[in-house]
Amino acid sequence: MVGQQQALHTQTLAELAKGLLNAEFSSYELVECLLSRIEEHDSSLNAFISVMAEQALTDAAASDKARAKGEVGLLGGLPIVHKDIFCTKGILTTCGSRMLENFISPYDASVVEQLSSAGAVILGKTNMDEFAMGSSNETSYFGPVRNPWDIERTPGGSSGGSAAAVAARLVPVATGTDTGGSIRQPAALTNTVGLKPTYGRVSRYGMIAFASSLDQAGVITRTAEDAAMLLTAMAGFDERDSTSVDHPVPDYVESLTRPLQGLRIGIIQQHFDSGLDEKCASRVKDALNVLEQQGASLIEIDLPNLDLSVPTYYVVATAECSSNLSRFDGVRFGYRADDAKDLLDLYCRSRGNGFGVEVKRRIMTGTYVLSAGYYDAYYLKAQKVRQLISQDFKNAFEKVDVIAGPTTPTPAFPLGDKMDNPITMYLNDIYTIGVNLAGLPGISVPCGFVDDLPVGLQIIGPHFAEETILACAHQYQQYTNWHQRCPEGYE
Amino acid sequence: MNSAWEVVIGLEIHTQLATISKIFSGAPTKYGASPNTQACLVDLGYPGVLPVLNAEVVRMACKFGLAVNARVASRCVFARKNYFYPDLPKGYQISQYELPIVHDGELIIKGDKGEDKRVGITRAHLEEDAGKSIHEGLDRSSRIDLNRAGTPLLEIVSEPDIRSAKEAVAYMRKIHSIVRYLEISDGNMQEGSFRCDANVSVRPHGQDKLGTRSELKNLNSFRFVEKAINFEIERQINVLEDGGEVAQETRFYDSDQDETRAMRSKEEANDYRYFPDPDLLPVELDEAFIAEVKKTLPELPDAKQTRFVKQYKLRAADAEILTVSRAVADYFEATVAAFKDHPKIAANWITGNLSAALNRDELDITDSKVNPVDLAELLSRIQDRTISGKMAKEVFEAMWADKGSADEIIEAKGMRQITDSSAIEKIVNIVLAKNPNQVEQYRAGKEKLLGFFVGQVMKESGGKANPSQVNRVLKAYLNKD
Amino acid sequence: MSLNKELVQHIATLARLQLEEDDFDDVVVKLSSIVDFFDQLQQIPTDNVEPMAHPLHQAQRLHPDVVTEINERDAIQTNSSTVQDGFYLVPKVIE
């Protein structure tokens, strides 16, 4: 029934929504199409941990029936995949880890509930760095994810599976989580849009915790418009999450048309110093020029403490995760070592075997920075520097409306490249991390290619300015078509 | 006790707050449920779950702070206390560390010499209880029940101002009384809703520096607290006098052997790695909130005791007994309201006969088989001499056994006291006539026989004659010549 | 500054993580490099700066004291293979 229309898998969520409404195709057909694409292509990408083909088709059929009766949710019949960090009731939820290899969640995360209530059909759970710890999706127990732009390269992480699936047009949109850049960085490396909302904008209930004061749920899509659609359905106050903010949810799609005219964009000179690949810098500068041409003004700003954001982040994040992961002890759920001779053995072997190298490394680091004698020098210190970094952003936002710059220092790097030195890996997040420390919203949008590899432009806003950054990204996408380019072999 | 040594004691009391649901989740807190039927996903520490805060817990802690003259923090923070144990599902306990909800309070108790003594309360903070581990019963496994995990606790820490086991018990009793008065805890030590740990050390008199302290755990009755502390004091003094050193350790009290022993399972000093819980925000309490809570404070034990002495002219000791619990105090006042003029008599009956009956049947005063109004009626009948004091005891027992009200029983059993002078004189004459020898002996000087005659009159009257009248008439008739 | 082996073993024990002997040296090296990386933080003066535990300034909301959870023990316990009569089992602890 495809006929004149554009192939289903190449359509954006917004286009698919219209198509369903106009009965150009059914949800069942759409889901069927995507499931076969997943089957065809995922072996080369390993983007999925679970595919729920049968359930998805059942749900799609049900949604078609409902639509025929006039019952249409915001996302009725539209396909979605969830990063395997979101608990899905009755469905395997692994968090990319051996520890939860067989864990069937007894409940749905709030994000899952909200999207399902809006009518979205879940096709599967995507691969990710183990417990969201990583920037290349190479720490997953279920094998690395490959970048559809070059399968010898990583798609970034930790939401690598979601990014690869969307980039390869296996699905139009996916959920992800971002603690230090885990949505924005893979989006930049895969030519997709990655949105991390303000901390507290989206509920964390049911999202397996890595670093509680930094984690935020978001989306990976191909357009800012799609991201806006999803955010409208996902955002909102949740009384089960004490850190959830009771802030009204606007229609983010409506405000996309805000013009760039008059927008004050802050540029951080430090960003363009050493560390940033020259060609990437060039793409980013071109993008900024496009914005300027459309009436935005570029204003130089300084974030004096930004240099310390990576060490600050790693102290805080590892401290929080070392505690968050203590619940994985083999007693009530999860991997349990056999024939434990005593309690200590049960704990040490269940956790020693259940967790991968990077996770253990971060737990150890976190335990260290919180331990007696070191707390003041590391954890307390980092919290103070975090305050300074947040203050820097606050000061900057008195002069500008958004801050823009590169999302990552380089394009996608080869698999195995950075696994030897953890710090080299950590420095990948240098442009994204400060945003999490300050709890700000940020979006990465495709802005060009370097040696056929995608480059991302990051736009950061003050708290609850998702409308502003989405509009900025959307307008940019009206004047460019980077985001429409498809990786070879996945057309 | 050896007076060369000074004892320094600090008490840590954990009291379970009597909320319907848990501190950080909506699971129920009822005692005695089947294992793991009251542990929801949040209590079990499942992946992805988050804590929320029970308002009533905050109010109760605030009430306590106000009752002990403490500061209620305008901002307090929850912190994670990290350690691994099977009854601690998350691998950390949510507690409070640097910024507790209540701090700098005090309690006045009676010191060893009967003087008023001030014991400082350093802080009281909120935390969640752990589950229960059962180590006996199975060969190779311990069994874990997480129903209790997440029950709210208020940990009350005293300054090390206490100087003896007796003072320790007095402090503990006072706290126990207060939390029950405030209705924030049922204080049930058998069920574990009121637990006490004691930090005990000794030092030579006059020395400033504190001695090494040991922590005593498993003190679940007032008696055990006193015994355990006394044992420990002696033990430490003996160690020091023998030239040894007191080890800083945790010891538990074995009530069967009446001794404290070092706990084997306490491994190397735990590094709890406290840090502010990122899943919970700082709790901010403004003046309005605290003022609202203040309005709900009941009259507290000390104030009530003082008032009872003044208003009802009771002895301090009686007032103290009557105000140990609000329920007893309320019972007393309800009785007095219906039996206005003789509060002392009411006090005696409540601390005497009523108390005995309650103890015998293991009842709480709120389940008393005789209510204040009915007791008041009984007391009125004594007062108006319908029955004698002795008869009243019988009537009381019958009332207790559900045989009816005082009046009904008196009527049914024909127990009306004989107070009519002529009736008594009649009986006295009968008795004197029946016992001429004794009459003669009495008149000859054996005055002790009065008791015999009284007994005979009482017997003859079926116990109904008013004893003091009988006495008077007998004397009059016997001394007649 | 290299972390010494005893400290690393102590941390592993605190965190209840069994480390393979073969990997142990590498763990010490990598952890040391990470800790060294953190030392940059000492450069910056933070004397009167408030530590930031949460990125937004909010206060904790309070929930009413009502029971909202029903007993789902049996469904939940399908996730654990070591339960008996409703109890979770662990290797016996001697106290």
For residue B445, the model assigns a pLDDT of: 87
Distance CA A194, CA A188 (A): 8
CB atoms inside a 10 Å sphere around CB A377: 15
Distance CA B274, CA B257 (A): 37
For chain B, percent of residues with pLDDT exceeding 90: 69
Band of pLDDT at residue B268, cut at 50, 70 and 90:
low
pLDDT digits (tens, 9 = 90+) for A406-454: 999 999 999 998 777 888 888 888 999 999 999 999 999 999 999 999 9
Q: At what angle do helices B450-460 and B421-434 cross, to 10 degrees?
A: 110
Band of pLDDT at residue A197, cut at 50, 70 and 90:
very high
For residue A1, the model assigns a pLDDT of: 47
pLDDT at B67 over 80: yes
A158 is catalytic: yes
Question: Mapping DSSP to helix (H, G, I), strand (E, B) and coil, where does residue A176 land?
Answer: strand
CB within 8 A of B455, min separation 6: which ones?
A: none
Q: CA dist B438 to B427, B430, B432, B450, Å? A: 16, 13, 8, 9
- The string of DSSP letters for C39-91 reads GGGGGS--TTPPP-SSSS-----EE-S-------HHHHGGG-S-EETTEEEEE
Question: Mapping DSSP to helix (H, G, I), strand (E, B) and coil, where does residue A218 land?
Answer: strand
Burial class (CB in 10 A: 0-12, 13-18, 19+), B369: middle
Contact B26 C69 (CB under 8 A): yes
Smallest Cα distance from B49 to chain A, Å:
6
For residue A4, the model assigns a pLDDT of: 55
Residues of chain C with Cβ-Cβ distance to A351 below 8 Å are 15-18
Contact A320 B278 (CB under 8 A): yes
Task: Write down the domain spans for chain C.
Answer: 5-43
- Which residue is it, tokens 């898998």? A9
- E strands, A325-469, are 402-406, 442-450, 453-460
**Predicted TM-score (pTM) of this structure:** 0.91
Contact B34 C86 (CB under 8 A): yes
Smallest Cα distance from C60 to chain A, Å:
7
Hey, which residues does B132 pair with through a beta bridge? B145
Higher-pLDDT residue of A1 and A343 is A343
CB within 8 A of B289, min separation 6: which ones?
A: B62
For residue B288, the model assigns a pLDDT of: 97
Distance CA B215, CA B261 (A): 11
Task: Judge contact between A486 and A325, C-beta under 8 A.
Answer: no
For residue A159, the model assigns a pLDDT of: 98
Hey, which residues does A262 pair with through a beta bridge? none
Task: Judge contact between A155 and A137, C-beta under 8 A.
Answer: yes
Q: What are phi and psi of B85, to 5 degrees?
A: -160, 145
Residue by residue, pLDDT tens for chain C (95 residues) are 679 999 999 999 999 999 999 989 999 999 999 999 999 999 999 999 999 999 999 999 999 999 999 999 999 998 887 999 999 999 998 76
The least confident of A76-80, A228-232, B410-414 is B410-414
Write down the catalytic residue from A27, A50, A83, A140: A83
Distance CA A283, CA A312 (A): 29
Task: Judge contact between B478 and B442, C-beta under 8 A.
Answer: yes
pLDDT digits (tens, 9 = 90+) for A313-337: 999 999 999 999 999 999 999 999 9
CB within 8 A of A398, min separation 6: which ones?
A: none
pLDDT at A127 over 50: yes
The dihedral of CA B55, A205, A379, A303: what is its sign? negative
A83 is catalytic: yes
Distance CA A41, CA A165 (A): 9
For residue B481, the model assigns a pLDDT of: 58
Contact B144 C87 (CB under 8 A): yes
For residue B264, the model assigns a pLDDT of: 60
Q: Does B281 touch chain A (CB under 8 A)?
A: yes
Given C16, C64, C77, which is nearest B55 (Cβ)? C64
Contact B84 A205 (CB under 8 A): no
Q: At what angle do helices A13-21 and A224-234 cross, to 10 degrees?
A: 70
For chain A, percent of residues with pLDDT exceeding 70: 99
For residue B2, the model assigns a pLDDT of: 58
Q: Of the spans A208-222, B269-283, B422-436, which averages the highest pLDDT?
A: A208-222
Q: What are phi and psi of B64, to 5 degrees?
A: -60, -45
Distance CA A417, CA A153 (A): 9
For chain A, percent of residues with pLDDT exceeding 90: 92
Fold classification of B421-478 is: Arc Repressor Mutant, subunit A (1.10.10)
Distance CA A182, CA A335 (A): 25
Distance CA A202, CA A199 (A): 7
The least confident of A21-30, B444-453, C42-51 is B444-453
A43 is catalytic: no
- Which residue is it, tokens 């090296």? C29
**Any idea what DSSP says for residue B281?**
P
- The string of DSSP letters for B449-472 reads GHHHHHHHHHHHTTT-B-HHHHHH
Domains defined for chain A, CATH in brackets? 8-270+277-303+395-484 (3.90.1300.10)
- In the CATH scheme, what is the code of domain C5-43? 1.10.20
**Interface probe, candidates A83, A94, A323, chain B, greatest B C-beta count within 10 A:** A323
CB within 8 A of A414, min separation 6: which ones?
A: A152, A153, A154
Q: Is the bond into A97 cis (omega within 30 degrees of 0)?
A: no
Smallest Cα distance from A351 to chain B, Å:
12
pLDDT digits (tens, 9 = 90+) for B80-138: 999 999 999 999 999 999 999 999 999 999 888 889 999 999 999 999 999 999 999 99
Read off the pLDDT of each residue in B251-273 and give the average, rounded to a whole number: 79
**Any idea what DSSP says for residue B283?**
E
**Interface probe, candidates A326, A364, A379, A380, chain B, greatest B C-beta count within 10 A:** A326
Q: Locate the chain A residue with the closest alpha carbon to C48.
A: A384
- Which residue is it, tokens 């990319």? A96
Read off the pLDDT of each residue in B446-475 and give the average, rounded to a whole number: 87
- The string of DSSP letters for B380-440 reads HHHHTTSS-HHHHHHHHHHHHTT---HHHHHHHTT---B--HHHHHHHHHHHHHH-HHHHH
pLDDT digits (tens, 9 = 90+) for B158-198: 999 999 999 999 999 999 999 999 999 999 998 899 999 99
Q: Locate the chain B residue with the closest alpha carbon to C77.
A: B36
Which B residues in the span 37-66 are in contact with C, Cβ-Cβ below 8 Å? 37-41, 44, 52-58
Given B53, B82, B86, which is nearest A242 (Cβ)? B53
pLDDT digits (tens, 9 = 90+) for B317-347: 999 999 988 999 999 999 999 998 899 999 9
Task: Write down the domain spans for chain B.
Answer: 5-289, 301-412, 421-478
The least confident of A270-274, B8-12, C47-51 is A270-274
Host H or E run for residue B105: strand B102-110
Q: What is the mean pLDDT of chain A?
A: 96
Q: CA dist A161 to A109, A126, A138, A224, Å? A: 19, 5, 11, 19
For residue A303, the model assigns a pLDDT of: 95
Given A100, A327, A379, which is nearest B275 (Cβ)? A379
Residue A178, CA atoms < 13 Å, CB-side half-sphere: 34
Q: Does A90 touch chain C (CB under 8 A)?
A: no
Contact C51 A213 (CB under 8 A): no
Task: Judge contact between B73 and B35, C-beta under 8 A.
Answer: no
Contact A332 B80 (CB under 8 A): no
pLDDT digits (tens, 9 = 90+) for B371-397: 999 999 999 988 887 888 888 898 999
Q: Does B92 touch chain A (CB under 8 A)?
A: yes
Question: Mapping DSSP to helix (H, G, I), strand (E, B) and coil, where does residue B328 land?
Answer: helix
Q: Locate the chain A residue with the closest alpha carbon to B85.
A: A343
Q: Locate the chain A residue with the closest alpha carbon to B272.
A: A371
Distance CA B134, CA C87 (A): 10
Q: Does B271 touch chain A (CB under 8 A)?
A: yes
Distance CA B397, CA A293 (A): 100
For residue B465, the model assigns a pLDDT of: 83
- Which residue is it, tokens 């008599």? B345
Which A residues in the span 320-379 are in contact with C, Cβ-Cβ below 8 Å? 322, 326, 329, 331-334, 336, 340-349, 351-353, 355, 357, 360-361, 363-365, 367-369, 371, 377-378
Q: At what angle do helices B326-338 and B372-383 cross, to 10 degrees?
A: 50
**Any idea what DSSP says for residue A409?**
S
pLDDT digits (tens, 9 = 90+) for A341-400: 999 999 999 999 999 999 999 999 999 999 989 999 999 999 999 999 999 999 999 999
Band of pLDDT at residue A201, cut at 50, 70 and 90:
very high
For residue A388, the model assigns a pLDDT of: 98
Q: Does B98 touch chain A (CB under 8 A)?
A: no
Q: Does A23 touch chain C (CB under 8 A)?
A: no
pLDDT at B266 over 60: no
pLDDT at B143 over 70: yes
Distance CA B93, CA B148 (A): 13
